[in-house]
Amino acid sequence: MSAEDKDSNKPFIHEPLYDVAVVGGGLVGAVAALCFDRFGGDGFKVALFEAGLLDASYQTDQPGEGKVLYSGRAYALSEGSRAILDVLGLWQEMAKFAQPIEEIEVTDSQLESPFRPVFLSFSGEIEHGRVGAYIIEHERLAAPIYRALRAKTEIAVFENSPITDLQRDAQSVELSFKGGEKLRSRLCIGADGRGSSVRSLSEIKVHRSDYDQDGIVVTVALSQPHHGKAVQHFLPSGPFAILPLPGDRASLVWTEKRGLAAEMCALSDEEFISQVNARFSPKLGTVELAGPRAHFPLSLLLAYSFIDKRVALIGDAAHGVHPLAGQGMNIGLRDVAALVEIVVETRRLGLDIGSEVVLERYQQWRRFDGVMSAFAMDGMNRLFASEVPLVREVRDFGLRLVDRLPPLKEFFVREAAGLNGDVPLLMQGKKL
Ligand SMILES: Cc1cc2nc3c(=O)[nH]c(=O)nc-3n(C[C@H](O)[C@H](O)[C@H](O)COP(=O)(O)OP(=O)(O)OC[C@H]3O[C@@H](n4cnc5c(N)ncnc54)[C@H](O)[C@@H]3O)c2cc1C
């Protein structure tokens, strides 16, 4: 924008007409912008808006490169999500920091039980030598993604630019930002998280339910090798997940009642770690702190519709799920893969990428999965929180039954890998 334009009171309209405007530069929006840029075809114009700074969530101790400052957050990354990152040429840099999950144990044994029996155990492999998921720290995942975005001069990136208004006509959607600037696009993609402005400006209603739980996340160093084993221990206050990281460390996602989570995080290091060790599987030895701790409020959020006129919602803007299965971002990346596939196909046919037909196709592909995932995790969280003896017996029987049914176990591992159902091409590792 020229100084003259900035000084005038007239709204500044960015030209020309963009093809997609992605609102929200979290991991899901950032990957969406990269996929559209890569597969959109000649002249396909992508804009990305972020309310803050793009890579604010991954920091180094110096501008540019430098030592990474860890937040303590890590993700279970499904094979399908890994495939998208691989197609984008980003996985190679991440791979050495990602821990393959070789084995998964599920239990709801009582902490006071001396044996802590395991009710269900899986191999983490979807086929021989190929695992279904990895654990990777936020910074190791985010750094290559944001570096690639910054290198892509073709993508118009607007930082410190929250979207404040959307106006639609028959051909385009006009986005307002920075108190007067405007940009027009054929399609607006709301990737702006749980508090999505795109969703509220489109008057899409949501179903919300608060869990009165927080997820405490922290990285710990283990006294014994983990051999790639992930443990999900369902406790009455919520699941306690031990997710293996390279170098015999683990990321813990520890769900606690809201007030108690804040209290735990305020404890001294020694008191905190003794609380962790009290919950930790004795078979895995003991732990020491290896990073900062943080806690996040947990809730269920589901948009009644994933689309509106010239608008599609992806990621947490469309569905916010309980983290007990580590699927929130993976489901968001599946939205990305499906939407990019539909848009690219439509553009190659020379048709309008923001039309109702395109949006309906996206909604049909993704909404059922989003709803099922949200309610499945909600149901599991409630079921495992119950201390009623009959409920405990029935669910332990269920776990033991699944343990004896290899085809069902295989189904669950493929589900966690993001490889069941109508899998978008990018998630199969195929280019568009
Ligand atoms: C404790 C915990 C553990 C988890 N573990 C896992 C896991 O193991 N695996 C997994 O797959 N998922 C996991 N998740 C879920 C995962 O973190 C989220 O699903 C994912 O980060 C959502 O990404 P997003 O890009 O959709 O939204 P966000 O990360 O919320 O990003 C939204 C972005 O939009 C920007 N924004 C907001 N409003 C505007 C606006 N008006 N204009 C422009 N920009 C705007 C924000 O600044 C932000 O950068 C976990 C979640 C929690 C809480």
Q: What is the reported pTM?
A: 0.94
Task: State which H helix or E strand residue 29 sits in.
Answer: helix 27-39
Helix (H, G, I), strand (E, B) or coil at 349: coil
User: Which of 78, 82, 252, 316 for mutating ligand 1's site (highest number of atoms within 8 Å of CB)?
Assistant: 316
What is the DSSP code (8-state) at residue 11? P
Which atom of ligand 1 approaches the CA of 164 most closely? 41
Instruction: Provide the pLDDT for residue 111.
Output: 77
The single-letter code of the amino acid at 25 is: G
| Atom number, ligand 1, closest to the C-alpha of residue 177 | 42
pLDDT at residue 293 in the model: 92
**Is ligand 1 within 6 A of the CB of residue 326?**
yes
Which pLDDT value is given to residue 55?
79
Task: Decide whether any atom of ligand 1 lies within 6 Å of the 217 Cβ.
Answer: yes
**Choice from 211, 213, 296, 329 to test ligand 1 binding pocket (greatest atom count within 8 A of CB):** 329
Strand partners, 77: 134
Nearest CA to ligand 1 atom 3: 323
Q: Which atom of ligand 1 is nearest to the CA of 317?
A: 26
CA–centroid distance, 227 to ligand 1, in Å, is 29
26 contacts 48 by C-beta, under 8 angstroms: no
Contacts of 107 (CB under 8 A, 6+ apart): 116, 117, 118, 119, 120, 231, 232, 233, 234
CA distance 131 to 138: 20
End-to-end CA distance of the chain: 35
pLDDT at 238: 87
| Predicted pLDDT of residue 7 | 53
Q: What are phi and psi of 380, to 5 degrees?
A: -65, -40
CA–centroid distance, 311 to ligand 1, in Å, is 19
The residue whose CA has the least distance to atom 35 of ligand 1 is 24
Other Cβ atoms less than 10 A from the Cβ of 324: the count is: 22
* Cα 38 to ligand 1 centre (Å): 23
Q: Are 316 and 330 in contact (CB under 8 A)?
A: no
Please identify every stretch of the chain with a pLDDT value under 70, giving residue numbers as ranges.
1-9, 59-66, 68, 114-115
Residue having the nearest C-alpha atom to atom 51 of ligand 1 = 323
Determine phi and psi for 33, rounding to 5 degrees: -60, -40
With a 6 Å cutoff on the Cβ, whether 416 touches ligand 1 is no
In CATH, the architecture of 12-421 is 3-Layer(bba) Sandwich (3.50)
Mutate to test the pocket of ligand 1, among 101, 192, 334 (most ligand atoms within 8 A of CB): 192
**Strand stretches in 348-399, DSSP E:** none
Q: Hey, what are 105's tokens?
A: 């144990």
Q: Is the CB of 52 under 6 A from ligand 1?
A: yes
Q: Convert 146-182 to b/e letters by CB count within 10 Å (16 or more is b).
A: bebbeebeebbbbeebbbeebeeeeebbbbbbbeebe
Q: Which amino acid is residue 358, in one-letter code?
A: V
Q: Is 244 in the pocket of ligand 1 (CB under 6 A)?
A: no
CA of 136 to the centre of ligand 1 (A): 16
Bridge partners for 313 per DSSP: 190
Instruction: Give, using CA atoms, the residue closest to atom 29 of ligand 1.
Output: 26
CA distance 370 to 306: 10
What separation in Å is there between the alpha carbon of 215 and the centre of ligand 1? Answer: 14
- Ligand 1 atom closest to 28 (CA): 25
Strands 12-23 and 181-190: parallel
Q: Closest by alpha carbon to 108, among 407, 408, 393?
A: 393
Closest Cα to atom 37 of ligand 1: 192
Give CA–CA dist 340/331, Å, rounded: 14
Residues near 125 by Cβ (< 8 Å), separated by ≥ 6? 102, 131, 132, 413
* pLDDT computed for residue 108 by the predictor: 83
Question: 327: Cβ below 6 Å to ligand 1?
Answer: yes
DSSP string, 237-253: TEEEEEEEETTTEEEEE
pLDDT confidence of residue 219: 95
> DSSP states of 282-313 as a string?
GGG--EEEEEEEEEEEEEEEEES-SEETTEEE
How many residues are recorded in the chain?
432
| Distance from the alpha carbon of residue 66 to the mean position of ligand 1, in angstroms | 25
Q: Which of 71, 75, 104, 314 to mutate to test the pocket of ligand 1 (most atoms within 8 A of CB)?
A: 75
Ligand 1 atom closest to the Cα of residue 197 is 41
Closest ligand 1 atom, residue 329 Cα: 11
pLDDT at position 63: 58
The pLDDT of residue 325 is 87
What pLDDT, on a 0 to 100 scale, did the predictor assign at position 267? 96
